[in-house]
Structure 1
């Protein structure tokens, strides 16, 4: 009996660490790599963070295609501004089971904003969708940290 108790005590820290890692990955908060929809090459590093009212947003931390890129096709106050540091997704509300809805996403290649939804996928992936009516385009981001 003593050996079983000892083994159980040794296993508890490992189980706790696995639980904590799993809980951390149940949140979209963190750094994600995005990919070009045409070439599949890495394009941006974005940071998803908790914003006002328990919603989630994402801002560009780094541009992998051009270090000083600006949003030439953006409208309003984002036009001509550096992409690095720009918020490109906002107001994503958690709806349970790793899914988020009600947000907006900015497509940098055309400067247009789309209704957005997202969901966490196994393997440290985050599927982000931009929708125009019932038609949605999906992009899968991969977790950096």
Structure 2
């Protein structure tokens, strides 16, 4: 009996260790041009999830891209290093109840994200206001 319980605990720990999650570095891609625009790191802190821009890759961006359309203390903040996803809570396979900032227009939106069920290397990122929403697909950087 103890052997069976030990084996079951081992399997659970193994499955948890190798299951895909949202943490890591993701490539954001412009849907129209197909150009990779940035690398964003999703990380967990105190039970909530955040996303920080590591690198802006958009060739049209200035050398030091700034959040010129942001308000308050984010006004003219460098986009690299900027936390654009805040306070997501894990609710099963979906992470929600947080916000996402669009550094191009300086607006924040309610946000939820989840892994594509068919391909865990695709992250679905949805920003929305009321019934209007837009979903982007981010690619896991390996």
Match for residue 57 of structure 1?
A: 50
Question: Normalising by structure 1, what TM-score?
Answer: 0.79
Match for residue 72 of structure 1? Answer: 68
Aligned match of 1:104? 99
Aligned to 1:133: 130
Q: How many residues align?
A: 126
| Cα distance between partner residues in 2 of 1:108 and 1:35 | 14
- Give the Cα separation in 2 of the matches to 1:127 and 1:111: 21
Gaps of 5+ in 1: 1-17
Question: How far did 1:70 drift?
Answer: 0.6
> Which residue of the partner structure matches residue 108 of structure 2?
113
SS in 1 for 2:73: helix
The equivalent residue for 1:48 is 42
CA distance in structure 1 between the aligned counterparts of 2:18 and 2:134, rounded to whole angstroms? 28
**TM-score if structure 2 supplies the norm length?**
0.81
Which is richer in helix?
1
Runs of 5+ in structure 2 lacking a partner?
1-13
CA–CA distance in structure 2, aligned partners of residues 85 and 91 of structure 1? 17
RMSD of equivalent CA atoms: 2.0
SS for the counterpart of 2:86 is strand
Q: Which contiguous aligned blocks of 4+ residues in structure 1 show a shift greater than 6 angstroms?
A: none
